[in-house]
Structure 1
Amino acid sequence: MKLYKYYLIAFLSFMIWGFFSLALKPLHDYPSLDILFYRVFLCAVIMLVISFVIRIQVLKKSIELIRAMPKREQQSLIKRTLGGGILLTANWFFFIYVMNHISVKAASFAYLVCPILTTVIAFFVLQEKLSKWQWVAVALSVISCLLLSFNNIADVAYSMIVAFSYALYLVTQRKNFGIDKFLILTVQISFSALLLLPFYPVYSAPLPSDPVFYGFIALIAVLFTILPLFMNLYALQGVNSSTMGIMLYINPLMNFSIALFYFHEPINQFQMVAYSLILLSIVVFNERHIFRRRSALAG
């Protein structure tokens, strides 16, 4: 039952992200960098207040735990955490740019490529083993991405950058065990804010005056950043990087549906076949857990 709790949390986190375009698209008239600046700065403020006011006892315990670690382990933890902050910053900027200035489908494609990259990177870097059925699922994913790349080479290039940054983030954070996940996320987002702060006076547009802008930024910060990222890091305690990578497909499938039925973006037969293959690949990759659960219910 405990294992299924992590699966459920991972599933819900990607489900939440699937609705991100509904909050991001209304801001398409604003520069991508401005959206990134305000998103990160607000997230950092909220999380620092929570950590230093509401969760101060957890913070103290985590600091004691880090101090008790061997020096080499401390250095590795710091590198992974700060490196994760850099990867998140890059991923957010490119995703916002692609979503608002290329297309919702192009942003969806990024997270179609990401599960394949995550699975392959985890196989080589973390030595996470894959069954033959899981390799079949990876092959189906590759075929679906090839179908979606027809006549969309520019979209593929943008999507690869977005996908690679988040795939690396997932794989590197898999090793961050034993430390409070909310604290790790707070450090990463605060570090991201520090990285962006020197660029704000130079590259930001005039201060937005529309209250609607700040309303959507607050929604993005809490519902589409802090909550799903914390859920992702929590789920990684019980779900390996490869499985998390495949579950990423929930995000683009949601985006694809919204692009089709809400934003009315055009769709062709290649895309229909490709997304059908993606659904099949999710089932095939997780067949061991799906059919084990069914067997348990039958018994």
Structure 2
Amino acid sequence: GSQKDFWALFAGSALVSTNWFVYIWAVNHNYIVQTSLGYYINPLISVLLGIFFLKEKLSRAQQVAFLLAATGVIILTVSYGKFPWLAFTLAVTFAVYGLIKKQIKLDALRGLTIETLFIAPFAVIYYIWLFTKGNAVFLSSDIKTDILLILTGAATALPLIMYAKGVQRIPLYMAGFLQYIAPTMMLFLGVIIYKETFGKIDLLSFAFIWSALLLFTISKLIEVMKMKKSQP
């Protein structure tokens, strides 16, 4: 099993690194809409992977919730006007990463440490290349920036450890639906604090996504209550 775990972690490392790299590139090149779209497509792919690879079953309410969310995401995607390659790359890499993490029986922190070690040599080579080109920020600007960059690493690692721990305990489809919480919070921050525009199309697609979330949550609560009742 250890050899299988080794290759699974290696694949996980490659996927999560691709995800980060594409995300940072997209943000720096002003593809903000596509990055947020990626976060909305990702849960749907997680749900599908759970159904096809892990043979997870959705209740009727959850199937309806999935279709509602998918409709919302399709509206967003179509309104974007062209095929959002970056969004799909982000969504697929992270969803498959989740599927791999679900199969590995390794402690979450240890798993992430090994994944980071896999990618470290590539990161160092890339950093040296940036440094020689005069494009590096880390260690070549002020101490405040360096500390911020180190803190960003910690802020990224913590949710990933939590995600790895959580995804081993709950079905993948559920992890998928829960992933709508972060982009919804990001959206509120964007609209309220950064005064980003929120048009009719946004409202329409989010109405679908949020009703899907509501339906999913209610159906889960009813399931839990039924289970409690049936237990003596």
TM-score, normalized by length of structure 2? 0.87
Q: Partners in 2 of 1:252 and 1:105 — Cα distance?
A: 11
Q: Which residue of 1 aligns with 2:126?
A: 199
Q: Is the 8 A contact 1:81 1:187 kept in 2?
A: yes
Q: Which residue of 2 aligns with 1:64?
A: none
Q: Partners in 2 of 1:282 and 1:76 — Cα distance?
A: 35
Gaps of 5+ in 2: none
Q: Is the 8 A contact 1:102 1:155 kept in 2?
A: no
Q: Is the 8 A contact 1:104 1:255 kept in 2?
A: no
Gaps of 5+ in 1: 1-72
Q: Which residue of 2 aligns with 1:48?
A: none
Q: Is the 8 A contact 1:110 1:162 kept in 2?
A: yes
Q: Which residue of 1 aligns with 2:78?
A: 150
- 2:93 matches 1:162: no
Q: Which residue of 2 aligns with 1:138?
A: 66
Q: Is the 8 A contact 2:76 2:202 kept in 1?
A: yes
1:113 to 36, 41, 47: 41
Distance 1:220 1:130, change over 3 A: same
What is the alpha-carbon root mean square deviation over aligned residues?
A: 2.2
Q: Which moved more, 1:113-122 or 1:194-203?
A: 194-203
Query: Residue 150 of structure 1: SS of its match in structure 2?
Result: helix
Query: Residue 44 of structure 2: SS of its match in structure 1?
Result: helix
1:269 to 191, 200, 224: 200
- 2:171 matches 1:243: no
What fraction of aligned residue pairs are identical, expressed as a percent? Answer: 22
Q: Is the 8 A contact 1:108 1:253 kept in 2?
A: no
Q: Partners in 2 of 1:213 and 1:121 — Cα distance?
A: 39
Q: Is the 8 A contact 2:62 2:219 kept in 1?
A: no
Q: Which residue of 2 aligns with 1:94?
A: 22
Q: Which residue of 2 aligns with 1:129?
A: 57
Q: Partners in 1 of 2:81 and 2:7 — Cα distance?
A: 34
Matched residue count: 224
Q: Partners in 2 of 1:97 and 1:154 — Cα distance?
A: 19
Q: Is the 8 A contact 1:99 1:106 kept in 2?
A: no
